[in-house]
Structure 1
Amino acid sequence: MNMSPISPRRPGRAGVFLSAALLMLAPAVPAAAQSGAAAPAPVAAMPVPGDLELAKLIWSTMTAIDHANQSGNYSVLRDISSPAFQIANDPSRLAQIFASLRENRVDLSNSLLLAPVYNGAPQVGQGNILRVRGSFGLRPTAVAFDFEFQWYTGKWRLFGVSIAPLPLATQQPGSAPEVPDSRRRGSQ
């Protein structure tokens, strides 16, 4: 029951333009800082989330997908995702992609009851895309995930997703099963 993954095309020049536009929107240096007074430390342009923030990001993504599956309305999931994800996926395509989860009645809301188990540390890779893989050891079916998030307007937003229900028997205690790497990539 592998799920077709969603992965938009990687940004080209538009991504570079966006970065330049975000730099131009940065606030001016306060007068206190110019006069030599102590100024607050600058916030990282793209912070890698800590454990709690990462879990919240995963839980909110699982919840958004679950709500979309329950309602059949994928427009909110699409709208809270990165612009590249939005361009690559209209709501009807998302409904097709998540059809097997709906048909098999996989309840993703149960993931809120457990902490995610990670397959290694989250990684920020090419194009400043945060990738996190792991699972929720749900019964009777564990759910493995492979999410990619893009930093956009001060938030990590969904960029790519793969969710695969797995029989619990394939999961060893205390470890996360591997998510089948069946992602399709757009041209880079």
Structure 2
Amino acid sequence: MKSTVFRVALFVAALCSVAIFSASEVLAEGKGAPLAKRASEAAAKSQLSATMDGVQIAMLIKSTVIALQHANQTGNYSVLRDLGTPLFRERFDQVKLSAIFSGLRGRGVNLSPILVLSPTLTKQPELTDQRQLRLVGNFPTQPLQIKYELVYQQIDGVWRVDGVSVEAVAVQTTEAGRTGGTPSLAAQTPAPRKPVASVKSARKPVQQQY
């Protein structure tokens, strides 16, 4: 028997920074679900590749991270909020956004270097069944590596922010690094934590600054 489980996920997660997401997901279970899901994913990937190229994706990532940088710099989160979907704006007012990103702001982390760097995707761009675009990756900044997980929803032809996670974490020491080689991307970037339907408190920030 086929059944449909509806899950609405709204969460705030943090490592050295914090993350906020507001997304709707539909999970189909049943005998025909795996085949239908694969067909749907293939169609979504085909549509994504037809509508967005690497340059457009890079611009989308950079514009969001820089909007966060400006918000942290000025303490004014109105622009970042206005870039969001209606649900995002409903869930997060300026006061809440300021509180959520207080750890990143308090550490004085400067996200501006991403302007002259190309983002790296650690996962293929994903277009979900709910028409959400999920982008996960990092920028090769040092001594702190800027990592991101961003979710967008297209409204009236414009990709609106539906979730944003930005972390600044110390680049891990690897054998390649000790011998003068270049660490592999996998070694530098642990797998991102998966979203959960709960609110999590931020861990104590690492005392490292640019």
| Change in 2 beyond 3 A, CA 1:183/1:85 | same
**Aligned twin of 2:16:** 2
Q: Distance in 2 between matches of 1:69 and 1:179?
A: 26
Structure 1 residues 85 and 163: alpha-carbon distance in aligned structure 2, compared to 1, 3 A threshold = same
List per-residue Cα deviations over 1:50-109 (Å, max 9, x = no partner): 100000000000110000000000011101211111111111111011111111111111
Structure 1 residue 156, shift from structure 2 partner: 0.8
Under a length normalisation based on structure 1, what TM-score does the superposition of the two structures give? 0.73
Structure 2's unaligned 5+ residue stretches are 1-14, 27-46, 175-182, 199-210
Query: Unpaired runs of 5+ in structure 1?
Result: 13-43
Normalised to the residue count of structure 2, the TM-score between the two structures is 0.66
CA distance in 1, matches of 2:59, 2:147: 16
- Residue 80, structure 1, aligned to residue 83, structure 2: yes
Match of 1:40 in 2: none
Cα distance 1:114–1:149, how it changes in 2: closer, same or farther (>3 A)?
A: same
Secondary structure of the 1:66 match is helix
Asked whether the equivalents of residues 143 and 171 of structure 2 are also in contact (C-alpha less than 8 Å), the reply is yes
Quote how far apart the aligned CAs of 1:3 are. Answer: 2.7
**Superposition pairs for residues 24-39 of structure 1, below 5 Å?**
none
> What's the offset of the Cα at 1:45?
10
CA distance in 1, matches of 2:66, 2:105: 14
Q: How many residues of Structure 1 are paired with residues of Structure 2 in the alignment?
A: 155
Over the matched positions of the two proteins, sequence identity in percent amounts to: 31
Superposed CA deviations along residues 125-159 of structure 1, whole A, max 9, x for unmatched, are 13111001000111110011000000111111110
C-alpha root-mean-square deviation of aligned residues, in Å?
2.5
Q: Distance in 1 between matches of 2:94 and 2:121?
A: 29
Tell me the residue number matched to 1:104.
107
Query: Which of the numbers 193, 200, 204 marks the counterpart of 1:181?
Result: 193
Give the strand-richer structure, 1 or 2: 2
Please show how residues 139-178 of structure 1 align to structure 2 within 5 Å. 139-169=142-172, 172-175=183-186, 177-178=189-190
Task: Call closer, same or farther: CA 1:9–1:131 in 2, change over 3 Å.
Answer: closer
